[in-house]
């Protein structure tokens, strides 16, 4: 029984290390600058807040102001904010125009293929990921909803992403580490 437990534990640790390394290797192209970066490149500060976003999903429009407010609040505290478009066929010009006209003022990444979707396990749009280097390897420390009310900002009673960032700033790993996101299904809109 001990041998079996040791084997399962070893397998879990090894698979986590492999996933973490492959997460850092995921390449994304910035629609605004045209520059290609990896998630490892983007986690050069305290943390990376990566938010899946799609111009065709109505839920993303509802979150624009809240995302801008979070960026304003935490970007000076060592957190980089970026959007990632969920559809690899998105036009770079369309995304660049959106960033210029919306005031989002952050990188908007286009992925080549679906490796980021699969590597992060994204299911909904918008869905947020707080990524930080743990022992020099990018690791998702929070994954899920931005808050508990996408449709009415004034009715929000739980700010999940903000709480996760504050917990991390306080020296703790976010708890809960995952909250089910509400929004558009990744492939259904």
User: What does the pLDDT look like over 45-94, one tens digit per residue?
Assistant: 899 999 999 998 999 999 999 999 999 999 999 999 999 987 766 788 88
- Distance between CA atoms of residues 72 and 20, nearest Å: 28
Q: What's the pLDDT at 121?
A: 84
Amino acid 127: pLDDT? 96
d(CA 39, CA 41): 5
State the CATH number of the domain containing residue 56. Answer: 3.40.30.10
Q: What number of H helices and E strands is found in the chain? A: 6, 10
> pLDDT per residue over 132-171, tens digit each?
998 889 999 999 999 999 999 999 999 999 999 999 999 9
Report pLDDT for 9: 42
Q: Which H or E run contains 129?
A: strand 127-134
Per-residue pLDDT of 90-104, as tens digits, reads 788 889 899 999 999
- pLDDT for 189 equals 41
pLDDT for 8-47, tens place per residue? 344 444 444 444 447 888 888 898 889 999 999 999 889 9
In angstroms, rounded to a whole number, what is the distance separating the alpha carbons of residues 70 and 43? 17
Looking at the structure of the chain, the number of domains it has is 1
Q: Which domain holds residue 179?
A: 2-185
Three-state SS for 111? strand
């Amino acid at each position: 029984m001990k041998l079996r437990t040791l084997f399962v534990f070893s397998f879990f640790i090894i698979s986590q290390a492999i996933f973490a390394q492959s997460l850092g290797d995921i390449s994304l192209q910035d629609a605004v600058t045209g520059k290609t970066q990896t998630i490892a490149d983007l986690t050069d500060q305290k943390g990376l807040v990566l938010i899946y976003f799609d111009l065709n999903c109505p839920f993303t429009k509802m979150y624009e102001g809240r995302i801008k407010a979070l960026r304003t609040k935490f970007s000076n505290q060592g957190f980089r904010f970026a959007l990632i478009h969920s559809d690899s066929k998105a036009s770079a010009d369309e995304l660049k125009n959106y960033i210029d006209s919306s005031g989002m003022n952050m990188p908007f990444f286009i992925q080549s293929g679906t490796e980021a979707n699969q590597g992060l396990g994204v299911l909904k749009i918008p869905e947020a990921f707080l990524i930080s280097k743990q022992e020099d390897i990018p690791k998702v420390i929070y994954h899920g909803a931005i808050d508990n009310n996408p449709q009415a900002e004034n009715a929000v009673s739980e700010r999940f992403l903000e709480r996760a960032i504050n917990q991390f700033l306080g020296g703790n790993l976010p708890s809960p580490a995952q909250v089910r996101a509400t929004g558009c299904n990744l492939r259904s809109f």
